Structure 1
């Protein structure tokens, strides 16, 4: 009998509170598990075979259910956070007892109502738990997309040294490069992105940004808002280091330079003494 899996077991005994099941292929029923009475199909007799899912109840006992959960062992699925408690978050996986997502298995803090991508695993205490780690390895690398396609992806991990990781259509592996500002995103957010590259191993490179000529207007307005927040004088120009520019604006140096050039041509700014000033 396998914890966390749908499987067909044989009825070996009927009792007032349900039936006991065992592996149908075993000559002797060395292990058995209870299927509660409310789950037992009508007219069930000893010897019948029933498809069930095995998990642990609130008293940590192995128990069977005929309900198909939203996720099974080693699978990846999108589940909803029902509440956040002292030991972690509890997820709705279609069964009476909610599924625990321990704090140590959260790559970012989750909140009630979040819809997040998780993996089902067995912990050291032989209990089923959810994890937001290890999603990367379980996603498909055979995407049906082409460069230039607009697709939807769900954020499942923030890898600061590389970028932000998405599951396109909750199935295919993709990454937003680190030079794009994703600080406004949370775990589970679904966003529209453009496919900008397909690696040899099938993983996707994607971007939240529009094509340069379309993005420039948005970036220019972003810089004007930033200048306003600095009382009309931005204390650096496009000659600043890429790190400073990204830290202050969330833009790459190239994007910043394009937007500043647009504002300068429109005479909305002046560039003097290593500073960008709002034009009079």
Structure 2
């Protein structure tokens, strides 16, 4: 049986000027599968050879083959670029002659043309390749990561409490709690993350934050730069609201207060009720 959206080992049955026909595994030659010359890649083949061909439906809705490896196959999650928006949905580049459809009902967030997002590839009811951003149920928690490991993850949505849902290595489920990030995140955004917890179900608890010392060093520099650029004064101090600290310094109030404390111990700043001054 031919598997659409996957690699099949098929015998080269006959040749034509424009390509080859592969055995469609039926007794009807009408079911033979076209492998066009432009989809041979760097392969040289002959009648009788067995080839590993990727099977898909072409722009004329015919079963076709390619020896050029696509960017993903059915059952996989991959970062793929949005190339067009139409009345029936969006199209993404999977590395085939024909881009594949992301139906409106298969979109869980807005897609921007030219941007990449994680998509799950499947075969629709008409045996065409299609994709969805609803990847959550296709992720696994069967991993070998440990607390302290660093990983690369991609945002694919948000929980109702604004915790960010993350896919790691196009395969594993993770989450960044809402109090672990202080900048705006968006679907498709790639992040360097640290594993800070592994939940009972195996899901990865992640954080984009640096360790405390590195984070404070960066924040200390930001505070000093701000003061130096504003004639040695800022209206912010350890009594400022968390919201305005986050807006200006991209920091939690807790870390902001720690950084101010470090700078005062270094005898670089002083505070009063009006704000903070360079010494």
TM-score range, shorter chain: 0.7 to 0.9
d(CA) in 1 for partners of 2:278, 2:71: 58
Shift, 1:219, TM fit: 1.7
Where do 1:1-280 residues align within 5 Å? 1-8=2-9, 18-19=20-21, 21-22=23-24, 24=25, 29=28, 32=31, 34-38=33-37, 42-44=45-47, 51-79=52-80, 81=81, 84-87=83-86, 88=90, 90-91=92-93, 93-100=94-101, 105=107, 107=109, 109-110=111-112, 112=114, 116-123=117-124, 126-131=127-132, 133-149=133-149, 151-159=150-158, 161-179=161-179, 180-183=181-184, 187-191=188-192, 193-225=193-225, 232-234=233-235, 237-265=237-265, 266-272=267-273, 275-279=274-278
TM-score (norm 2): 0.72
Shift, 1:199, TM fit: 0.8
Change (3 A) 1:168 1:44: same
Residues 225-269 of structure 1: per-residue CA shift (max 9 Å, x gap) = 4567777333x5444554454344332232222123223443424
Change (3 A) 1:36 1:243: same
Residues 152-177 of structure 1: per-residue CA shift (max 9 Å, x gap) = 31323242634334333444332333
**Displacement over 6 Å in runs of 4+:** 10-16, 228-231
Shift, 1:204, TM fit: 1.4
1:16, 1:37 within 8 Å by CA — same for their partners in 2? Answer: no
TM-score (norm 1): 0.72
1:99, 1:130 within 8 Å by CA — same for their partners in 2? Answer: yes
d(CA) in 1 for partners of 2:123, 2:6: 11
1:8, 1:49 within 8 Å by CA — same for their partners in 2? Answer: yes
Shift, 1:198, TM fit: 0.9
d(CA) in 2 for partners of 1:166, 1:98: 26
1:155, 1:164 within 8 Å by CA — same for their partners in 2? Answer: no
d(CA) in 2 for partners of 1:101, 1:271: 57
Shift, 1:75, TM fit: 0.9
User: What is the RMSD of the two structures over their aligned residues, measured on CA atoms?
Assistant: 3.9
d(CA) in 2 for partners of 1:241, 1:56: 58
d(CA) in 2 for partners of 1:230, 1:62: 67
2:10, 2:22 within 8 Å by CA — same for their partners in 1? Answer: no
2:70, 2:95 within 8 Å by CA — same for their partners in 1? Answer: yes
Change (3 A) 1:279 1:20: closer
Shift, 1:2, TM fit: 3.7
Residues 7-55 of structure 1: per-residue CA shift (max 9 Å, x gap) = 3457788766542643x3x6x659825313536874436xx87543222
1:153, 1:170 within 8 Å by CA — same for their partners in 2? Answer: no
Comparing 251-260 with 240-249, greater Cα deviation is found at: 240-249
SS, match of residue 85 in structure 1: strand
Change (3 A) 1:96 1:124: same
SS, match of residue 175 in structure 2: strand
Comparing 213-222 with 34-43, greater Cα deviation is found at: 34-43
2:54, 2:67 within 8 Å by CA — same for their partners in 1? Answer: yes
